[in-house]
A and B are shown apart, each in its own frame.
Chain A
Amino acid sequence: MPKRSNEPVFWALFGAGGVVAAFVLPALIVVTGLAAPLGLPSPGVLSYERVSAFAASLPGAAFLFVVISLSLWHGFHRIYHSLHELGVHRGLSVVRVLCYGTALAGTALTAYLLVTAI
């Protein structure tokens, strides 16, 4: 009998991250990467007070956790598979540990930072 793959775990995280990234990231990038640094429409868009209040609220923390961790799982899952497709065979298992390890570490760090902020 063929061996059952553990890929469903990673694929589920990849899929959830893909949905979140698709619906949320474009607007979020406009806010944090373009509008805030350019001071549009006003300088205080991402003021320390505003952002820390947001991160300390339960919905805000949940939002940040979901967006950051799932985007990491999504991104690194695809990066891993693309490297395989580009013909990286030697050290592929190391690449795998690095990719999913980064996603896992990022998830843990995000959770820690948010829990201490609340």
Chain B
Amino acid sequence: MAVRRPYVRPMAGWWRRNPFYIFYMLREATSVFVALYALQLLYGLYTLAVGEAAFDAWLVSLRHPLFLVFHGVALAAALLHAFTWFNVAPKAMPVLYLGSHRVADRTLVWAQYLIFAVISVAILGVVLGG
């Protein structure tokens, strides 16, 4: 009779084993910048409530090279988040039908890219243009 002794392999360092997992972890890491940026906005809102001097001081602090670098990285992270989010969103959406035709995942992804472009242009246009 054969001996049964099933061997369970360790999981330590699992995310380094496959490029797919590394990219997944990169996707998850965008959350750190989303959270930090939100906290940063919250702090700005707080200075707004304190008064003009505090708010202006916050604005000046944003000019510090470290903050500029942070926002540059945060922008890259936010774009990566947006890209990966739009790509997987059809997996969670209920299946859409147009008549008897199933709307392809690709169509849904492109629709989101389009909405993203419209919203981004609107925000940049209103704030920077007006």
Contacts and interface: CB of A to CB of B under 8 A. Distances in A.
B48 A33 contact: no
Interface residues of A, number: 54
Contact of B34 (A15, A46, A74): A74
Contact of A37 (B55, B68, B82): B68
Contacts of A86: 15
22 contacts: A21-B78, A22-B78, A22-B81, A22-B116, A27-B124, A29-B74, A34-B71, A45-B127, A48-B48, A64-B41, A71-B34, A71-B37, A74-B35, A75-B36, A75-B38, A76-B35, A79-B35, A81-B28, A82-B28, A106-B42, A113-B42, A113-B46
Interface of A: 15, 17-19, 21-38, 40-41, 45-46, 48, 51-52, 55, 64, 67-69, 71-72, 74-79, 81-82, 85-87, 106, 109-110, 113-114, 116-117
